[in-house]
Structures are given as structure tokens and as C-alpha cells.
Amino acid sequence: MTASPDSAKILTNLRVNDLSRGGNGVARDERRVIFIPLTMKDDVVTARIISEDKRFATAEVVEITTPSPDRVTPPCTVFGKCGGCTWQHVPYDQQWKTKRDGVAHALSRASISLDGIPLQEFSAEHPWNYRNRIQLRARPGALGYYARGSKDLVGVERCEIARPELNAVLPELRAEAEKMLGEKFKSGDPDAEVKVEIDVLPDGTVQKSWNARHAALGFRQVNDEQNEKLRGYIRERLTDGAHVLDLFGGSGNFTYDDADRYAYVECVDIGSPDGEIEGQPENYRFFQTDVARWLDRRAKDAERGYFNAKGPVEVIIDPPREGLGDVTNKIVGALESLDARKVIAVGCDADAWARDISRLIKAGWILSEVAVFDLFPQTPHIESVAVLVWEQSTSLFSP
């Protein structure tokens, strides 16, 4: 899509007919679909085209002439300017329906039918003040987030999706930031900027890290309550006594605390701990390495008779947002060599996740169950899970 040749092109009385799973309102004129951020179904707007091609265009709101009767007032004073939330104007039940239907649509586009397959829903009980971690930037006079579509800074007094413990320390952070910025100016840095990452631990302790790499405090899901539902769902679908391969497993979110349920767990990720950590169970091993290469080596060990599974091999796959991509065939082939019986595939991008599921099905895996989890209210993001069993083991491992 290219920039509009007429950047001042204005469309009036444009009715928004739908809310896309990508987050934008969807309208139509006589020849194309128009995506309009920060709108919702039944809004009537005046909008300016900012990019277009023959079939699609993107526009920005000039004026909401007639708001949807379902539109709600965002509690955040900088909503629409801040680059974070995109759906605070949408009632939560409509947010959830759009997300859930979006996952079903992604599966349909990948030619996967849900006929007869359970779809379990785990919407958020608390769609506000849920984030246990935020990253803020500071410049003279402002502490906040980058603006939508730019590196301009939008100052915030509080964040409506952050946990109360995090909002409580913002005044302290502003004072610290001003001191750091003052020192940078004295040293001759006219464009000084600092960043801080803060998170709240399960015991309520707040940690902070200034000017460090992303996730310097460690990675975990940002929504503790919903993450517990996700962990519980996966736990219930893994077999007691299984040999679990937790692929792209990070620090073991899905398996570490339940290691005593399994015969053995191998957690593999480029971001996993390097070596053992304090208190690590004897039947649990971390591998800080590339998943596809590690799995390929394991598969070759199995083909030579060197891999001795401690129980039925069951696999969790939780790849980055883009999915398995180019390594899909290598991973699918390795699962067969390792005689894996069950795969639990987790994804945060519905289209990439659905493509991975489709490739597993084509390789002989049977889709038995799907679940969707809302870890990110006020945004279009959703976490999806599929349970697949090997075609010859369906009777043994059906949930």
C-alpha cells in the first residue's frame, strides 16, 4: 500500500461496518475497503485517506460525526495519542468477540475446520490494571510512552492497564529521570532520553531497571491472572509421567513449577537460562540454544538409538510471533523421529499460529482441541492454543 497521491482526500459520512481483528474499524466506499484506526462498528466518521491501493485504503479520523451507541469513554486521558492501547473505546464484550472470531477466521483461512472440535474461551475477568510490567521513556518534563506511529513522547500521569503497584511508583521514577536527564545535559547531550522498565513480582515487590536491554528483569507473561489460566490449561493436557519438550520455553513458564508431574523436561530456547539455576529439579534441564538445531540433533540421536525417552514424548511449541516459519518442516520431521505423541501449540499471532497448525495436520497430526486466552485487554492481541495428537495415538491421549 502506497501513500495517497492526494493526502488531503477527505471522505464524509463514512459508516464503520465492522471491527477487524487487526484492531481497525472497517468501512467501505464504492470500490474498496477502508481501515480506520480508533473507530468501531456503527461509528459514522469524516476521515482522511493516508494510504491506498486498488482494493484497500487506510484513513485517519478527522471527526466522529455520529458515535456508535456502543462506544464507551476511554478512562485514559491520552488514549489515541499514546502508542499502546487501541481499543479502550470498545466495550470489552465486543473486544472479546472480535478476538475469538478472529482466531476462528484465521483457522478457516488455513482450511482448518472446527466442526466437532471444542473451542474453549478464557476471556479476561479484569480487563484493566493487569500489566505486571511496563517500559517507559523520559525526556525533560515528561515520563511516558512513544506516540502512535512516531517517537514523540506522550507523558502519562498513570497507565490504566498497569498494575496499581506500578502506578504508585511513577512519581518516584519522574524524580529519578529528571536527575539523570540533568546529568546528561550537563555532559553535552541536548537530545537526552532515558528509559526504565518496571515490573511487579507476585509478592508485590516492584523492580526497576534503567537504560538496560529489553526484558532485563527477566521475561514473563504480562498478565499474571490470565497466564495462570493458560498454564493450568496446558498442565491439564500434559500426561503425568511424560517426557516433555518445552520448545521456545524461555524460563519454563509452562513446565518448571510442575516438573514433579513429569518424568523429564527439556526446556529449549535461545532465551533460556544458561546452565542450572538455584533449586532446579533434577529431572529438568535448560538448553540455551536455537530450537530447530537442538531438535534436529535430538532427532538424529533418536534415529541412532541414543535418545531414551523417560516417558511418552509430549511437546509444547510456543514460537515467536512470526511462528515456525522456515523451520516448520525440520521441526515436524524431528517430532516424528522422536516418536512424539502430543503437541500443544501456542501462538500470539493467529495467522502464523494457524499456518503452523495446518502444516502439522498435513504431516499427520490430528487437531483435538482449541482454546483462546485474552492476556492483553484493550488491544487486539490474543493467545491461542491447539492440542494435536499423532494419528496413531488418538485413543491413548485424547483429552
DSSP 259-294: GGGSSEEEEEETTS-SS--TT--TTEEEEES-HHHH
- State which residues of the chain have pLDDT below 70: 1-8, 392-399
Residue 273: predicted pLDDT: 92
Instruction: Find where cell 516433555 sits.
Output: 244
Residue 23: predicted pLDDT: 95
Model pLDDT for residues 61-118, shown as the tens digit of each residue? 999 999 999 999 999 999 999 999 999 999 999 999 999 999 999 999 999 999 999 8
Q: Are 24 and 36 in contact (CB under 8 A)?
A: yes
Q: Is 213 helix (H, G, I), strand (E, B) or coil?
A: coil
In Å, the largest CA–CA distance within the chain is 71
Between β-strands 313-317 and 365-373, what pairing exists: parallel, antiparallel or unpaired?
Answer: unpaired
Model pLDDT for residues 243-268, shown as the tens digit of each residue? 999 999 999 999 999 999 999 999 99
- In order of start, what are the domains of the chain with their CATH numbers? 2-66 (2.40.50.140), 133-210 (no CATH), 224-397 (3.40.50.150)
* CA-based nearest residue to 52, from 27, 19, 80: 27
What is the Cα 47 distance to its own chain's centre? 30
Residue 392: predicted pLDDT: 61
Query: How many whole angstroms separate alpha carbon 122 and alpha carbon 83?
Result: 26
User: What is the three-state SS of 221-238?
Assistant: CCEHHHHHHHHHHHHHHC
Residue 5: predicted pLDDT: 45
Residue 8: predicted pLDDT: 55
Query: How many whole angstroms separate alpha carbon 178 and alpha carbon 312?
Result: 57
Q: Could you tell me where the beta strands, DSSP code E, fall in 140-249?
A: 142-146, 153-155, 194-200, 206-210, 243-247
Which residues share a beta bridge with 26? 18, 35
Order of all β-strands in the sheet with 153-155: 153-155, 142-146, 133-139, 194-200, 206-210
Residues in the chain: 399
Query: How many whole angstroms separate alpha carbon 169 and alpha carbon 159?
Result: 12
